[in-house]
Chain A
Amino acid sequence: MDEVKNRREALEEKIEDLEQTLAGLKAQLRAESEREQHEAIDRLEMYLGDLDKKNSNLQDFWKMLRSDIGELFGLSGDRGKNQ
């Protein structure tokens, strides 16, 4: 009977340890991801510059679209990519 009790207590202790470790790891992960977010926010000026590139975005997209349409209808995909 005592042996069963001891084993249970040991398991409970182990679970508690693991839960504490897990909570610690989760906190570390959250801190790491928040650090990344702060770093990304510091690059905001760069992203602001990207807002003025809408025309080149559309041109890039148009090339990809032509290529995908070509693939969809069994035409050569290269034609669209090269133009």
Chain B
Amino acid sequence: MTYTVTEPESPTASSNGAQWFVVLGLVYLLLVAVGMIGTGFKAAAGDQAKDLFAFASNPVTGVIVGTVATALIQSSSTVTSIIVGLVAGGLPVEIAIPMVMGANMGTTITNTIVSLGHVRQGEEFRRAFAAATVHDFFNLFSIFIFLPLEIMFGFLEKIGQTLAGILVGGDSMAVGGFNFIKPLVKPPVNLLKDVFHGMGANDVVTGVLFIILGIALIFVVITFIGKLLKVLMVGRAKAILHAAVGRGPVSGIFSGTAITVLVQSSSTTTSLVVPLAGSGVFSLKQIYPFTLGANIGTCITALLAATAVDGGNAVFVLQIALVHLSYNVIGVLVIYGLPFTRNIPIRAAEWLADLAVKNKVYVAAYIGTVFFILPLVLIGISQIMGW
């Protein structure tokens, strides 16, 4: 069947061009912000970066920090960019890996909230809620499988290290030729440093100010990039979705990846499919691979952020960005690739959706437990047990 893609009513070419120029400027600001966090963290913590994050050295705490931070901010791109900045400042990669896993989990709260928009329509809500939580269960399942493996063997850390080594040609101390963006990012960071020093701030104060400003800037920039790209990319996203119709799960994964790369937000992609599933036009089985693609596509932000960093930690920054990508690709290959694990998230989501239709208390209990209560309980247990 052939289908004519109807182009959306788009703004004029000149306003489109202006918006693209703004997006470019925002991406530049994102890179500056990541550079600021890295520089600030180095200045404030010096060689004590590892000690500063000793509280998160327990991997379970790391996952929880990533989950809760992302659930509160509702943007995994923001959290992973901050993590990249912290690694640039000296946060050890082994502490950052569970945080990245947590960021994956935390971002799933957004489409769950979007599915609540269907709460008054029984059957529609059941389908929409299942479409939202299939992503949650996949990411939870992924953590249950890969976190213990990472603790035992450090396999993601090793994969990231190998891939980073390949990309930078074995140069372990600087990203060298790979990094073409750092010369653009460094001048404003240095200028700001000079301004703070000129105002009488010492290294620690300057570092702390850099971290605060960097985090705030990342938050603002990613929010605006998301808003702009949603408008600019809607036509392209529609074309990708039209092309994927009737072509099976692999195409679904690729289209989910492509749309997430275009809009720079996995929660936008996974939230978009909630009403499509809610209306019953797309089945849960058709939506599921698409959400997995969103997990992969969202890794582009960390990879982009990694290009902003120079110095001794640049290779570690690239490593954590590649760990993020590897974790999501391997997750899809293992959980979706194996027939006996593939349907576990679907069955779990359908079971929860059936309960959710019967009583909304189940929904509140689920969101509260997975994103907030369970993390707090686990932190308490880890403190008591002295992990």
Contacts and interface: CB of A to CB of B under 8 A. Distances in A.
A15 interface: no
B277 to A, nearest CB: 10
Given A34-B1, A40-B279, A40-B282, A54 B113 contact: yes
B241 A34 contact: no
Q: For the complex, would chain B's binding face be called helix, strand, loop or mixed by DSSP majority?
A: helix
B281 interface: yes
A42 interface: yes
A57 B116 contact: yes
Contact of A44 (B3, B238, B279): B238
A59 to B, nearest CB: 10
A44 B360 contact: no
B361 A68 contact: yes
A81 B6 CA distance: 41
Interface string B273-315: 0011001011000000000000000000000000000000000
B116 A37 contact: no
Contact of A64 (B114, B281, B360): B360
A41 B272 CA distance: 10
Interface residues of A, number: 32
Contact of A45 (B3, B120, B234): B234
Contacts of A41: 238, 241-242, 245, 276
A12 to B, nearest CB: 32
B230 interface: yes
A12 B6 CA distance: 47
A1 interface: no
Interface in A17-55: 30-31, 33-42, 44-45, 47-48, 50-51, 53-54
Contact of A60 (B116, B281, B359): B116
B119 interface: yes
Given A36-B281, A47-B276, A65 B114 contact: no
Given A31-B1, A37-B245, A64-B360, 13 more contacts: A41-B242, A42-B6, A44-B237, A48-B230, A48-B272, A50-B275, A53-B117, A57-B119, A60-B120, A61-B360, A65-B363, A68-B360, A72-B359
30 contacts: A34-B246, A35-B1, A36-B281, A38-B242, A38-B245, A40-B281, A41-B238, A42-B238, A44-B8, A44-B238, A45-B8, A45-B234, A48-B234, A50-B275, A51-B114, A51-B268, A51-B271, A54-B110, A57-B116, A57-B117, A58-B113, A58-B116, A60-B117, A60-B119, A60-B120, A61-B116, A61-B360, A64-B119, A64-B120, A69-B361
A-B complex: 4 closest residue pairs judged by Cβ atoms = A57-B117, A61-B116, A57-B116, A40-B281
